[in-house]
Amino acid sequence: MRTKIVAGNWKMNKTFEEADDLINNIIDLLKSENLSDKAVIICPPAVFLELATDQSFDSEIYVGAQNVSRFESGAYTGEISASMLSSMGVDFCIIGHSERRKYFLETHEELAGKVDQVLKQNISPVFCCGETLPERESGKHFEIVRKQIEDSLFHLKEGDFEHVIIAYEPVWAIGTGVNATSQQAQEMHHYIRSLVREKYGDQMAENISILYGGSCNSKNAHELFANPDVDGGLIGGASLDAEEFIRIVQSF
Ligand code: PGA
């Protein structure tokens, strides 16, 4: 059975004290939850990763980064390498978020390099894909998502691909308060799983976790997660409040 995952993408939010409180509150609230078939991941800004891995050491949560360098090491001022993340106990890394594609012009090729870097360090990529509103309106959404996945993930060998998590995040749903309908999410997740099946076979397609992201909150999570191909969520705004985030975890 595939793992159900709720991952919180904090983006560029919180000060040190606020991050400290949020991590502690999440850990405290999760103590009374049965997480046997679920994984809860928090992805704070890079400067708080050490705080997060320290505090989560004996807890039920995993820690993920929001970005990583596509280079291994050396003269790349301001970059953070996959080996640095791994040495701090980071287990997951968001790659290819639409905000990184849009504001930092990350290309499919660059994202493929980032995927390779984290996998070399035993970090699982949470690879984001999704179409913009004009792309959906012109009926190109399947083609766009296929290209994003093919170009940045399908060079991987099976042994590496089995560590990948995919997050479908329609760009028009991110931070807008307009989530994809349950039917739109299921349709795209089913399609993504069929791409994985074609390339890597039935077993891989059955095992891969495909998360939905984009204005997912405690009010719509239950309906979205009830779909057979939706294995959890990548949560932005609603992950910044511990109680709201836990309600989403409880939505399975
Ligand atoms: P949102 O963001 O939940 O605030 O829409 C999701 C994401 O960007 O990962």
Determine whether the shortest distance from the Cβ of 236 to ligand 1 is under 6 A.
yes
Question: Does residue 222 lie within any of the structural domains?
Answer: yes
Q: What sign results for the dihedral spanned by CA atoms 147, 224, 216, 210?
A: negative
Q: Binning pLDDT at 50, 70 and 90, where does residue 36 land?
A: confident
CB-based contact 68:111 (threshold 8 Å)? no
Question: Does residue 4 lie within any of the structural domains?
Answer: no
Distance CA 114, CA 104 (A): 14
The structure tokens listed for 10 are 């904090």
Distance CA 161, CA 131 (A): 22
Nearest CA to ligand 1 atom 7: 236
- Domain residues for 188? 12-29+39-249
- Ligand 1 centroid vs 128 CA: distance in angstroms? 11
Determine whether the shortest distance from the Cβ of 64 to ligand 1 is under 6 A.
no
Q: Ligand 1: which atom is nearest the Cα of residue 237?
A: 4
Catalytic residues: 97, 169
Determine whether the shortest distance from the Cβ of 235 to ligand 1 is under 6 A.
yes
The structural domain count of the chain equals: 1
Question: At residue 191, does pLDDT exceed 80?
Answer: yes
Question: Does residue 69 lie within any of the structural domains?
Answer: yes
Question: Does residue 1 lie within any of the structural domains?
Answer: no
**CATH of residue 44:** 3.20.20.70
- Ligand 1 centroid vs 209 CA: distance in angstroms? 18
Q: Ligand 1: which atom is nearest the Cα of residue 176?
A: 5
pLDDT digits (tens, 9 = 90+) for 45-101: 999 999 999 999 888 899 999 999 999 999 999 999 999 999 999 999 999 999 999
The pTM (predicted TM-score) of the whole model is 0.97
